[in-house]
Structure formats: structure tokens, C-alpha cells
Amino acid sequence: MFTIRRRLLPLLCLVAAVRGAALDNSSLHLLDRAWPDVASRNVSEIGRGVGVVFSPDLSVPDNCRFYESLGFACFQDADWEKVLDAVHRHNVLYPERRIFTLILETHGTNGNGLKLQTSYDPDAGRSYISAGALQQRLEPEGIYYVIISACNSGRLLRPAIYNQLDPNNGDKLFLPATKGIVNASPDFVASRSAVMIITPESSHIETTLVGKIAELSPSARRAITDSAKSLGIKPPTEFAVSDMMTAMLTRDSQLQLSSGSYVDELSRAAATVDRSEQLFTKFVRYVNAVSAKQYPPTEKKKPAVARKAPRKKRVN
């Protein structure tokens, strides 16, 4: 972690090479299926139908309150079993706010398993899940799309570990699973699942920036506060947002997505600090723009100017 204009939370991992290109039709089609590009008129509707899972060490204390204020369902824990149970409870208890898509802001562990953890301490709370287990466990909950924002996400789909992770893979980032490993049943057949897993077309280091609510416009701060209060939660003061989350939300032209394919290679590559800052700015502008529709700026009344009485004509 290092500081630029704000805190930066990089995922530690090796990566597959990134190919830059415009957002093509196939990527846009995938994203529109998983997260329809609906023009929100209220900040509290931005994330409707979408849930987001955060690894605790890639987040901030206020983060779930921030995303819930934007209309997302938010889950943050080091135990995958608890997260899966929370997703189940959400869709049962809040049918009016059901989620159909789940975004995973987690570690990819060099493509050896989706990891949630509180820290890199070997004894810290930590668990892993396989891609197949995600499909098997989430389909009964009505989740049809899983978008993975994690390092080497394409490697997570390798056939050898798709259903059952290898706990003895020798990767130094695969730390002790103090909260367990969630695998799919040995007989699980992914091709029969209704759950689509979406990843970046080429895996890379995902960067997360931490911002302050104070950086948003007055109307955005008001909208977030009002939304939080309506949910009975304390208004957040800061938030963490990844490059990929922003790229999806704003339909960034450089975003490329894929489904149903995997990669083997590892290399080192990451977005530049300037690129991450650019995306952060886009995120702020997006939230500000939605809030401006919700609370249009009122025109300031011009101060009344006393009219001078017309001059009387002198009649000589």
C-alpha cells in the first residue's frame, strides 16, 4: 500500500498480460446482461439488483454502509460460508431488493482460489472458494451472474481447480485457510449451471482507491445521507472503490470482459496511478451527476433592485 492523493489498496498478485482496446460489443453485451445500463435518477437506485462482496482487508469500515446507500447489497467478511448465508438471507428477507448479480472484490491468490481475509497474518481470518462452488451455492439463491474483480481471475477458471481447489499449490499467497475452503461437489457440472461467471478478458492487478464522502458534491452527500437514514444505518464518511467497479459503472471504453474461458500464464502488469486516479474521478462525477438529477440545483434568486421613480417632466 502506498499513498497518492488518497489511500491505495492494491491486490498483491502476479498477473496475466493486459490487452488494451475499446469496449467491444461482446463485452458490452455481457455487462448489459449482468448489470443493465439503467439511467438512475436516484443515488439509492444505482446498485439495485446487484450485490458486492468485499474482502475485509480491501475495504474500509464504512464501506458497506456506502454501497448500501447506493442501493447495492453489501457483504464483508473473511468467511465465505457466512457471506453465502448472508446472500441467502438478503434475498429471502428483502424480496423488493433481491439481487441477481454478485460482484466479488476479493483476492485471486494468483489464480489459485478466491480469498477473503482480514490481513496477511498467517493466523488471520481467511477462507477460499472455487468457481464451481460459487455456481453451485448461488444458483438456488437466484444469483445468475458473478463478476470477479480479482487478480488472475481467468486462472481461477482452470479445469484442474474449477470445482476443487488445490490447498497444496505451493503459492506463497495461499495462506492458511483458517475459516475453511468451500469446494463444489465432485459431481458438479458447471456447464449445466444457470450462473454465468464473468471476468476481465485478461487478468491484471486490481487497484482499489479510498475516498472521502467530503470529495463528493453537496447534492451527492445529501442523497447518500438521506438514503442511509432511510435504511436505518449511519451515513458513511469514506469508501473504497476499485478500478473495475468504476469501469463497469461508467461503461469505460477500456473495459474488456469475458465468460467461459481461462488462462494459464502469469506476468506482472498493473494500471498506472494516473489511470486509477482518472477512474476515481469518473466515479465521483457519476455519483455527482445522479445526485444532481435527484436534487436539482435551485436557481438563486437575484436580489431585488429598487426601481427608480421615473423622472417627472418639467413643463416650462
Evaluate whether residue 225 is within a structural domain.
yes
Joined grid coordinates for residue 164: 476443487
Q: Which DSSP symbol is given to 44?
A: G
Per-residue pLDDT at 273: 87
Per-residue pLDDT at 7: 58
Per-residue pLDDT at 40: 86
Evaluate whether residue 10 is within a structural domain.
no
Q: Which DSSP symbol is given to 61?
A: T
pLDDT tens series, the chain, 316 aa: 323 345 555 444 433 333 333 456 688 899 999 999 878 889 999 999 999 999 999 999 999 999 999 999 999 999 999 999 999 999 999 999 999 999 999 999 999 999 999 999 999 999 999 999 999 999 999 999 999 998 888 899 999 999 999 999 999 999 999 999 999 999 999 999 999 999 998 767 788 999 999 999 999 999 999 999 999 999 999 999 999 999 999 999 999 999 988 988 764 667 788 999 999 999 999 999 999 999 997 766 555 555 554 444 443 3
**Cβ pair 195, 262 in contact under 8 A:** no
Tally of domains within the chain: 1
Beta-sheet strands, E only, within the chain = 8-10, 50-54, 73-76, 101-105, 114-117, 126-129, 145-149, 181-182, 196-200, 207-212, 238-242, 257-259
Name beta bridge partners: 149: 105
Domain that holds residue 285: 16-294
Evaluate whether residue 312 is within a structural domain.
no
Dist CA 72 CA 132 (whole Å): 24
Evaluate whether residue 79 is within a structural domain.
yes
Per-residue pLDDT at 12: 45
CA 176 vs. chain centroid, Å, equals 26
Evaluate whether residue 251 is within a structural domain.
yes
Report the phi/psi class of residue 159: left, alpha or beta, with left for phi > 0 and alpha for psi in -120 to 50.
alpha
Evaluate whether residue 315 is within a structural domain.
no
- Nearest 5°: the CA angle 105, 257, 185 is 60
pLDDT per position as a tens digit, 6-38: 555 544 443 333 333 345 668 889 999 999 987
At 215, phi and psi to the nearest 5? -80, -10
Radius of gyration of the chain, Cα coordinates, nearest whole angstrom = 23
Per-residue pLDDT at 14: 35
Evaluate whether residue 311 is within a structural domain.
no
Q: Which amino acid is at 263?
A: V
Dist CA 180 CA 186 (whole Å): 17
- The 3-state secondary structure of 256-281 reads CEEECCCCCCCECCECCHHHHHHHHH
Evaluate whether residue 6 is within a structural domain.
no
Residue (of 144, 60, 58, 39) closest to 98 by Cα position: 144
pTM to 2 decimal places: 0.88
**Cβ pair 234, 65 in contact under 8 A:** yes
